[in-house]
Amino acid sequence: MFPSPFPETISFFCAELSTPPVFPLLPEEEIFLKKLSSTRRQTEFSQGRSCAHMALAKFKLESEPITRNAETREPCWPESVRGSITHSGEYAAAAVGLAADVSGIGIDLENLSRVVDFNISRHVCVEQELEWLKTLSPTKANQGLRIIFSAKESIFKCLFPISKTYLYFKDATVEIDEDSAEFTFTLSRECSGITAAGFKHSGNFSIIDKMLLTAIYL
């Protein structure tokens, strides 16, 4: 569905949940599947892992298991790899790169058809972001909020695996450039030796058929 938002050094794969996974779960991954209570979550897990293995095929690492951290619920990648998995609506996606090329990767899918209470902006946004949203029409403000939320999810997914610093929504300030489909963010706190407070970086976003994808890498 989505084309890759990354350079050639990062492998990206996206698939519909309704299609059978191309790559079946490995025995080590089946253990985690059985712990999931609902069919929906099992489908998301299976397709997410399938996307990850398909992305890993670029580096001939598709047979490496991707287990799960029981405490943080993050994917446990092969030591030589950095990656991210996401699912929302009827889609799942994964992006991976070699640790020799990238320090971190973060992606997030959001279903824009799902109704979200705009009042969550008080918990997600810093004052600068709230002021920007006020300048937009209700429809545009709702979309802008979703992009900010998703961007912050991608930021966390990118930085947490390498820093083990838990970032909260208001630890990052996001600015959106709709013309270029890019966002920039500034962190207000340090990420454990990886980035200092004040660190600034950018990512990109795309919207296709009411689905939003945000992506960043270091």
pLDDT computed for residue 193 by the predictor: 80
Domain borders along the chain are: 10-102, 116-205
Q: What angle do CA 187, 183, 90 make, to 5 degrees?
A: 110
Separation between Cα atoms, residue 118 and residue 2, nearest integer Å = 26
Tens-place pLDDT, residues 62-96: 999 999 988 888 999 999 999 999 999 999 999 99
The answer to whether 10-102 and 116-205 have equal CATH topology is yes
pLDDT computed for residue 144 by the predictor: 97
Tens-place pLDDT, residues 3-44: 999 999 999 999 999 999 999 999 999 999 999 989 999 999
What band does 192 get if pLDDT is binned at 50, 70 and 90? confident
pLDDT of residue 130 exceeding 90: yes
Tell me the CATH number for domain 10-102: 3.90.470.20
| Token digits of residue 209 | 């058929």
Separation between Cα atoms, residue 89 and residue 108, nearest integer Å = 12
| Token digits of residue 30 | 């089946």
Tens-place pLDDT, residues 91-129: 999 999 999 999 999 999 999 999 899 999 999 999 999
Mean pLDDT of 165-186: 96
pLDDT of residue 56 exceeding 90: yes
Amino acid at 193: G
Per CATH, the homologous superfamily of domain 116-205 is 4'-phosphopantetheinyl transferase domain (3.90.470.20)
